[in-house]
Amino acid sequence: MQVLGSFGGPVSRTIGLVSAASLALAGCGGGGSGTLPTPTPSPAPTTTVGGALKYPTYPQASLTVADVQQIIAQAVGEAKARNLPSIIAVVDRVGNVLAVFKMNGAKATMLTSKLNTETFPATTIANPVDLEGVTLPAEAGAIAKAVTGAYLSSAGNAFSTRTASEIVQQHFPPAPSTLGLEGGPLFGVQFSQLPCSDLNQRFQPAGGPTALIGPKRSPLGLAADPGGLPLYKNGQVVGGIGVMGDGDYGLDPDITNIDTDAEEFIALAGEQNFTPDPTITADKISAGGQTLRFTDATSAGLSALQTSFAAINNVLGALEAVIGYTNGTIVAGTAYGSEASGFRAATTAEFANTDAFVLTDGSGNNRYPIKGGTDAVDVGTPLSATEVRAVAEEAFKVMSRERAQIRQPLDSQAQTTVSVIDTYGTLLGLVRGPDAPIFGTDVSLQKARSVAFFSNKVAAAQLQADSDGDVAQFVARTRTFLSDPTALTGAFAFGNRSIGNLARPFFPDGQLNTPNGPLSRPIAQFNPFGVGLQVQLVASNLVQHVGYVLGQSATDTPQQCTNVPNAPNGNKRLANGLQIFSGGVPIYRGNTLVGAIGISGDGIDQDDLSAFLGLNNGGLRVGSIGNAPKAIRADNISVTVNGNPVRLRYVNCPFAPFLDTAAQNVCEGL
């Protein structure tokens, strides 16, 4: 195991289905004032009975119908002034689509960007080659952008789709002058919140008492195309706005200049009166000596605000129904933290940790109560409920003591989601910080399932049995690359960081004139819509869902991603897709794989620490499980590149991570 710096990590260029949130980047941020306000000092955390540190109290807030009308009117007014008829989507914090407004003359479709010159076979909805250069409904792009702005943000950070663009490309920060640097820290996050996810909820056309339960899915995952911003009331993130007007669903490959993006100005107009505190926007958050981008648009560049919905409704356009997302009316948002939102405070019976949150079904029932593993046939002694509880609660304690990477003010506590699973991918328990970004809910489960899958003895056989695209060929490529004809048969334990090393268009990550990792496309073919195995596993799901949204098919994509064979319990081991950035490790009972833990919501090294140290501490608490034996961790795998040996990484822990102690190298020797 390596103990490296406090930020680092790979990602890569990601565009359309992209996005994410958890690290830092560079560049001059737009949309903020030139003077950096002084953040209010964070209150000193206090120790609770459970051994964790107590979080601040977060008041509940939500968007009203009148709020949504005002947001749409403001955006439509700016779009009219810029002569760019657009589609505007507004969502609440947990992803419910509150309204979609289509202006007269707005383009009905958009094209996913193709950022290379490689010749590909004909790309169509019916026969996708990855997902680049594909024509998709513009409404899907607007909704994905709105979801991204809402899901990546919290009371401690406000991120946008431009922020997402910065942290998902093949070099970090993305610019022609930064070639040779590692990929973005959230490389691959664009393929989360997928419409096929078994965790994310689906729109209920008939409404009802559970209609607003979140988190809701996104039609295209997360987005990196500028034009998606978060919405705030009373210091709390209450949703997001997304704009699609130019027909190009892409990203910003060069952060060294300031763009004049009409969609971003339209979104900024819609955000007026619902803006985040300027001290928490991405351009006030730094990491590795770099600051992130929030928006290149500025309020000074906006036209006079149009605030009357009556003046634009059925005049400049109209509300629109989108199959699977909205029935064409405006609805009020739900308040995050309320039973109706799907997220609420845990009871003491559910988790000992003070301030813990869980997912709820709208009737007071925890959707994922602590339980034991379902895989006794394969592992002999599965994880017990006691073991699952120990790992989840200890990981929460580590999280609550960590200094956050992406939150303001400085020295705030990290806030993430913790997921624990068995080897079949069954979610055995989920717990989260009270203000953790929503995106981390789905991603933490993706991370846990990904490391359990790649560490499993059946990984190669599962991939070889998947008929989608060229999924099966990635096994042979991996075995050739590692010079190991038995790779992916359980001999090694893979952390998410290890998988990420193999899923980048350069190996080692970012370095030019080196081969691509075997799970990635070569750099000449690489595109955020065509990253390699990650997208091939779910491309058919996304294509099927697009057909459903367009009304071309009455059948939506199944609520389990990928076409790998079912586990013995009838479920897919990768039921919400593969994730390829850091924050998850497998769980072992001696030398036997019995499950995994995934963490997501803050910096990738912070996520690594919570997973690795939380599992270690949980194992010590019960005395029966723990991290993979050192001899089989993936950082024992060495690959010769240009005559030099390069080892995979397992986890990277921050050097001095805690708020309540000056301890350093806390992962050393574990």
- Arithmetic mean of pLDDT, 36-41: 45
pLDDT at 15: 26
- Averaged pLDDT for residues 60-81: 98
pLDDT of residue 50: 56
Residues 293, 163: contact at Cβ < 8 Å? Answer: yes
Tell me the percentage of the chain whose pLDDT exceeds 90: 81
**What is the structure's pLDDT at 13?**
26
For residue 35, what pLDDT is reported? 39
At 530, is the pLDDT very low, low, confident or very high (cuts 50, 70, 90)? Answer: confident
pLDDT for 431: 98
Contacts of 273 by beta carbon, 8 Å cutoff, 6+ apart: 70, 74
Burial of 512 (0-12, 13-18, 19+ CB in 10 A): exposed
Q: Taking residues 19-32, what's their average pLDDT? A: 31
Compute the distance between CA of residue 537 and CA of residue 572 in angstroms, rounded to an integer: 12
Q: What is the pLDDT of residues 476-502, one digit of tens each?
A: 999 999 999 999 999 999 999 999 999
The pLDDT score that the predictor gives to residue 628 is 98
User: What per-residue confidence (pLDDT) applies to 85?
Assistant: 98
Q: Provide the 8-state DSSP code for 630.
A: G
The torsion region of residue 594 among left (phi > 0), alpha (psi -120 to 50) and beta comes to alpha
Residues whose CB is less than 8 angstroms from the CB of residue 185 and which lie 6 or more positions away in sequence, other chains included: 7, 8, 9, 10, 11, 22, 23, 24, 167, 172, 581, 582, 603, 604
Would you tell me how many other CB atoms lie within 10 Å of the CB of residue 247?
14
The tokens describing 510, both together, are 């970012």
Q: What pLDDT is recorded for position 286?
A: 78
Residue 627 has pLDDT above 80, yes or no: yes
Distance separating alpha carbons of residues 641 and 497, to the nearest angstrom: 19
What's the whole-number mean pLDDT along residues 205-212?
92
Distance CA 514, CA 536 (A): 23
User: By C-alpha distance, which of 568, 574, 621, 569 is closest to 596?
Assistant: 574
What are the distances in angstroms from CA 482 to CA 27, 119, 311, 319, 478? 36, 28, 63, 54, 6
Calpha distance 287→266 (Å, rounded): 29
Task: State the pLDDT at residue 125.
Answer: 37
At 447 the three-state DSSP class reads: helix
Distances, alpha carbon 19 to alpha carbons 154, 174, 178, 437, in Å: 15, 14, 20, 13
Reported pTM: 0.92
- pLDDT value at position 327? 97
Q: What is the pLDDT of residue 175?
A: 86
In this predicted structure, the answer to whether residue 124 has a pLDDT above a threshold of 60 is no
Determine the 3-state secondary structure of 459 from DSSP.
helix
Pairing of strands 248-249, 109-112: parallel
Share of the chain above pLDDT 70, in %: 89
- pLDDT at residue number 118: 37
Amino acid at site 139: E
Structural tokens at position 171: 């070099």
How many CB atoms within 10 Å of residue 591? 11
* Per-residue model confidence as pLDDT tens digits over 391-400: 999 999 999 9
Give the model's pLDDT for residue 122: 39
pLDDT score of 44 more than 80 = no
With bands split at pLDDT 50, 70 and 90, how would you rate the model's confidence at 9?
A: very low
pLDDT digits (tens, 9 = 90+) for 369-396: 999 999 999 999 999 999 999 999 999 9
Looking at every residue in the chain, the average pLDDT score rounds to: 90
pLDDT of the residue at 32: 37
Q: Are 650 and 495 in contact (CB under 8 A)?
A: yes
Which letter does DSSP use for residue 304 in this model? P
Sheet of 135-137: strands edge to edge?
A: 135-137, 109-112, 248-249
- Cβ contact 251:169 at 8 Å: yes
Q: Is the predicted pLDDT of residue 299 greater than 90, yes or no?
A: yes
Sign of the C-alpha dihedral computed for residues 631, 634, 637 and 643 taken in this order = negative
Q: Give the mean model confidence (pLDDT) for residues 149-158.
A: 98
Domains of the chain in start order, with CATH, are: 65-335 (3.30.450.150)
What pLDDT was estimated at residue 1?
Answer: 37
Q: Where in 30-134 does DSSP place strands (E)?
A: 87-92, 97-103, 109-112
Confidence of residue 414 (pLDDT cuts 50, 70, 90): very high
- Beta bridge partner(s), residue 585: 597
How does pLDDT run across 193-203, given as a tens digit for each residue?
A: 999 999 999 99
* pLDDT for the residue 46: 66
Contact 315, 80 (CB under 8 A): no
Q: What average pLDDT score do residues 451-463 get?
A: 98
pLDDT surpasses 70 at 276: yes
Residue 469 is predicted with a pLDDT of: 85
DSSP string, 188-245: TGGG-S-TT-SSSB---TT--TTTT-SPBP-SSS---SS-EEEEEETTEEEEEEEEE-
Least confident span in 162-166, 214-218, 318-322: 162-166
Q: Which residue has the tokens 């987005």?
A: 223
